Amino acid sequence: STENLAQLNELNSLFSSLDPDHDGVITEAEARQVLAGKLPPNTVDQFIQTLLGDDGNVSYTRFMAEMMATKQAEDGELLWRLFQEVDTDGSGSLDRRELEAMMQKPSVQAVLAGKSAAELMANMDRDNSGVVSFWEFKLALESSQGACRAAFKQGEKVQYYSASYQVWMDTVITEVHPSGALQISAKPGYWFQTVSEQVAKLRRPQG
DSSP codes, 117-178: HHHHHHHH-TT-SSSEEHHHHHHHHHH-BSTTTTS--TT-EEEEEETTTTEEEEEEEEEE-T
Residue 58 and residue 13 in one domain: yes
Residue 195 has pLDDT above 90, yes or no: no
Does 174 map to a domain? Answer: yes
Q: Provide the residue range defining the domain that includes 38.
A: 2-74
- Would you say residue 90 lies in a domain? yes
152 found inside a domain: no
Chosen domain end from 143, 173, 192? 143
Residue 64: inside a domain? yes
Indicate whether 67 and 80 sit together in one domain: no
pLDDT of residue 66: 65
- pTM value is 0.45
Residue 149 covered by a domain:
no
CATH value at residue 95: 1.10.238.10
One-letter amino acid at 37 equals G
For residue 150, tell me if it sits in a domain. Answer: no
Rg of the chain on CA atoms, in Å: 19
How far is Cα 107 from Cα 85, in angstroms, rounded to an integer?
Answer: 13
Average pLDDT of span 137-164? 71
Tally of CA atoms within 13 A in the half-sphere of 123 that contains its CB: 18
Window from 2-16, 122-136, 189-203 with minimum mean pLDDT: 2-16
Q: Are residues 7 and 70 in the same domain?
A: yes
Do 38 and 88 fall within a single domain?
no
Q: Is residue 152 a contact partner of residue 183, using CB atoms and an 8 Å limit?
A: no
Condensed to tens digits (0 to 9), the pLDDT of residues 56-82 reads 787 777 776 766 666 666 666 777 878
Residue 170 lies in a domain: yes
Number of domains in the chain: 3
Q: Specify whether 86 is located in the same domain as 113.
A: yes
Vertex 137: Cα angle to 132 and 140 (nearest 5): 120
Domain match, 134 and 170 both: no
Identify whether residues 15 and 67 lie together within a single domain.
yes
